[in-house]
Amino acid sequence: MFEGIMKGLAKVLVSVHGPSSAWLGMDRDMRKLMSLFQRIPAPDQQSPQKLRRSYRLSTSLWSLPVHPSVTVRDEVVNEDITLRWYESARENDQCLVYFHGGGMMIGDLQTHDRFCRWVANRRGMTVVAVDYRLAPEHPFPAGAEDAIKAWNYIANSWSNAGKELKNLGIGGDSAGGYLATMVCQQFARSGLSVKPDIMPAWQWLIYPVTDCTDRSSEAWGTYSHDLVLTSQLMNRFHDNYVPNVEQQSLPEASPGLASDEVFTQLPPAIVITAEYDPLRDQGLAYARKLRSAGVAVVSHHEPKLPHGYISFGGYSDGALRGIEKAISLIDVICLQARRTMPGQVDKVVPE
């Protein structure tokens, strides 16, 4: 009941404020939300705790409806990592390991719960969401190492259940996309204290973070205000996650800077970008590097949507269409993965 009241109040507030005058090409509903967000305290000036609360509230107000046909269970791997398993009533033999976004500083299982339920239902697949440690309490490389440990645990569970690893993919949005790339790249060339046991069969990257050193791209300079994610807020995320500036240029922190040799070993990928996003050029560049390395890539761009649109499918029809398009592309990349499966194995063999 409380959530219903809050949603109603939020809709009233949005209706009072017309669409933002900035970014006239953006989906109209999303422009209305941007106008509302402009009237709250600047995110880059809020404490991590307040930012996390605001993010949870935002996703509860604007995210997708809950799919009741999806069953959910939580599993604690260790004190740092919790998994949430989503099973569809019409489950197929595929599984997506998913890392939530939030700049490595905010976000949790709850902020992306409805999105993961939606994917599980629409694809009829198993989705496993991963909760990992966040900065600034746990800076680089804590989150990336948690991601690898979680991946290894899930891959072993999947293999032990008698299921094929060629159907086990990985993905995430924003910082979660960064973590998905880390699992893939660290299998090709390990530079962290833990290493993936197997290579994911495919990658699903939604407006991923790929370069912590990016401070001069066109998108970075353009999208610095009046958005959910701005380049100023992204600067804060980067500097909290990788406080040692010299480490920001490491491929473990900036996967877009990895060597060509690493890129040639990566699995088929979907790379999705949004127009109104300081990370847009990073995502486009990452897709180009994959393609240049001979990796099968599906690159999809949403010209009318901002960064973070997967959290607003319950309010914006444009955001919902973007979500549905992103999910539909999983079929394409799964088919490609069956043809090209790099590092193919029949079972997990830990080191």
- One of 100, 112, 238, 307 is an active-site residue; which one? 307
Higher pLDDT, 154 or 45: 154
The string of DSSP letters for 311-344 reads: G-TTT-HHHHHHHHHHHHHHHHHHHHHHHH-TT-
For 138-175, write each residue's pLDDT tens digit: 999 999 999 999 999 999 999 999 999 999 999 999 99
| H or E element in which residue 274 lies | strand 269-276
What pLDDT sits at residue 15?
A: 52
Tokens of 343: 């590092």
Mean pLDDT of 38-60: 86
pLDDT average, residue stretch 126-143: 98
Condensed to tens digits (0 to 9), the pLDDT of residues 321-351 reads 999 999 999 988 887 777 665 443 333 333 3
**Cα(118)–Cα(66) distance, integer angstroms:** 7
Is residue 121 a contact partner of residue 67, using CB atoms and an 8 Å limit?
yes
Query: For residue 67, what pLDDT is reported?
Result: 78
Identify the band that residue 17 occupies on the pLDDT scale cut at 50, 70 and 90: low
Catalytic residue among 60, 88, 174, 231: 174
Which comes out higher in pLDDT, residue 346 or 13?
13
Cα separation, 215 vs 266, in Å, equals 26
Catalytic, 174? Answer yes
Task: With H, G, I as helix, E, B as strand and everything else as coil, classify residue 106.
Answer: coil
* Both structure tokens of 283: 């995502």
82-87 sheet: strands from edge to edge: 71-76, 82-87, 126-131, 95-99, 168-173, 203-206, 269-276, 297-306
287-316 pLDDT, tens digit per residue, is: 999 999 999 999 999 999 999 999 999 999
Determine which one of 27, 29, 173, 277 is catalytic: 277
Average model confidence (pLDDT) across the chain:
90
| Angle between helix 175-188 and 142-160 (nearest 10) | 70
Q: How far apart are CA 109 and CA 91, in angstroms?
A: 21
Confidence band (pLDDT; 50, 70, 90) for 190?
Answer: very high
- Is residue 259 annotated as a catalytic residue, yes or no? no
Q: Are strands 82-87 and 71-76 parallel, antiparallel or unpaired?
A: antiparallel
Domain annotation for the chain: domains and CATH numbers: 48-340 (3.40.50.1820)
pLDDT at site 348: 38
Strands 126-131 and 82-87 come out as antiparallel
